[in-house]
Amino acid sequence: MLKYFAKRLVLGLVTIWFIASATFFGMHAVPGDPLAGDKAVTAQIRANLAAKYGLDKPLGTQYLIYLGNIAKGDFGISYTQENRRVNDIIREHFPISATLGILAIVFAGLGGVLWGALTALYRNRWPDVVIMFLVILGISVPSFVVAAISQWSLVGLNVAAGTTVLPIGGWGSVWHMLVPALVLGLSTMAYLTRLMRSSMLEVVSTDYIRTAKAKGLPATQIFSRHQLRNAILPVITVLGPAIAGITTGGFVVEIVFAIPGLGRYFVQAIQQLDYTVIMGTTVFYGAFLVFMVILVDLLYGLVDPRVRVDQ
C-alpha cells in the first residue's frame, strides 16, 4: 500500500517535470517578444530588461535555472506585473478559483445524485421528463452563453426587486459565489445526473436487490443500503476528472462574473507572453491535477471494497 503510493508519487514528480519542460520549450517556441512594449525602447533598455529576466542567457542555461527554481518552489517575477512574484499571484488567486471549484463540484455532485435518483424513481413520469430536459439544456448550451444569460437575469431580478437580491459579480462573500458556482457546475451536474440515472436503473435489475426484496427487507432499507450506495460508485470515479476540469475550466465564469481567479490571469498572461506567469500557472495546475488524481484513487479504494489499491 505504502510502496504503491510511493511509486505513484515518484511518477507524479516525473509527470510534473514533463509538464514543466513541455511548457518551457513550447513557450519559447512562441514567436513574439515578451519584452516588447507599446512604445519602442532603446537597445540598452531592452538589454537591461532581458538581463533582469535572465533572457540573455542561452536557452539550455535558462532551462536549467528554471528547473532549479521550480524544485525550490520559486516561479520568479511576473513580466507584466513587474514587482509581483508569481508565487504571490498563485497564492492570492488560486484559493479563489479553488473555492469556486469546490462549491461547483459539491453542487454538481449532490445535484447529480439527487436528480439522478429522482429521475430513476420517477422513470418516464413528469419529474423524469422535466429534469432530463433541464439536463439536456445543461449539457448542450455553451457555458459562456449560460453565464451571460444568468448574469443578465440576475440584473433583471435585482432591478425588479429594487434591491440587491444577489450580487451580479465580484468576489467577497458566499452570495457572490452562488450563481457562478452553479453555472460552473451545471454541465458536470447534468452529466452526473445522467450517469446516476442509468446507474440506478442498472442496480435495480441486479440479483442482490432481487434477493433483498425476496428477503422482505423494507423498501427504505433497500434504497439506502443497496441501491443508492451501489449506484453512487460510478459517480465517484468520474469526480476526479471532473474536479480537474472544473478548477481549470473556470475561465469563462471568472471573466463573466469579474471573479479574480487564477484562470483570468492565465488568459491575460498568454496574451502578454508573460513567461513566468504562464509557466507558473501551468506547472502549478499540472501538479495539482496529478495529486488530485492520486487522491481520488485513494478515496475510491476506501469507498469500494472491491478495489484494492495495492493490487
Contacting another protein within 205-224 (CB under 8 A): 205, 213, 218-220, 222-224
Q: How many residues bind another protein (CB under 8 A)?
A: 118
Does residue number 139 form part of the binding site for another protein (CB under 8 A)?
yes
Could you tell me the smallest distance in angstroms from the CB atom of residue 204 to another protein? 5
If binding is defined by CB under 8 A, does position 116 make contact with another protein?
Answer: no
Query: Can residue 102 be called a binding residue for another protein (CB under 8 A)?
Result: yes
CA distance 106 to 119: 19
**The Cα angle at residue 151 between residues 149 and 157, in degrees rounded to 5:** 105
For the CB of residue 103, give the shortest distance to another protein in the complex, in Å. Answer: 6
> What is the spatial distance between Cα 127 and Cα 132, in angstroms, rounded to a whole number?
8
Considering only residues 222 through 241, tell me which ones interact with another protein, judged by CB under 8 A: 222-224, 228
Binders in 57-96 for another protein, by CB under 8 A: 80-84, 88-89, 92-93, 95-96
State the binding string over 140-179 for another protein (x if CB under 8 A, else -). xxxxxx--xx-xx-xx--xx----x--xxxxxxxx-xxx-
The least CB distance from residue 94 to another protein, in Å, is: 10
Task: Provide the grid cell at 285.
Answer: 495546475
Binding track, positions 7-36, relative to another protein; x by CB under 8 A: ----x--xx--xx--xx--xx-xxxxxx-x
Which span (54-62, 64-72, 119-127, 298-306) binds another protein, by CB under 8 A? 119-127
**CA 235 – CA 194 distance, rounded (Å):** 10
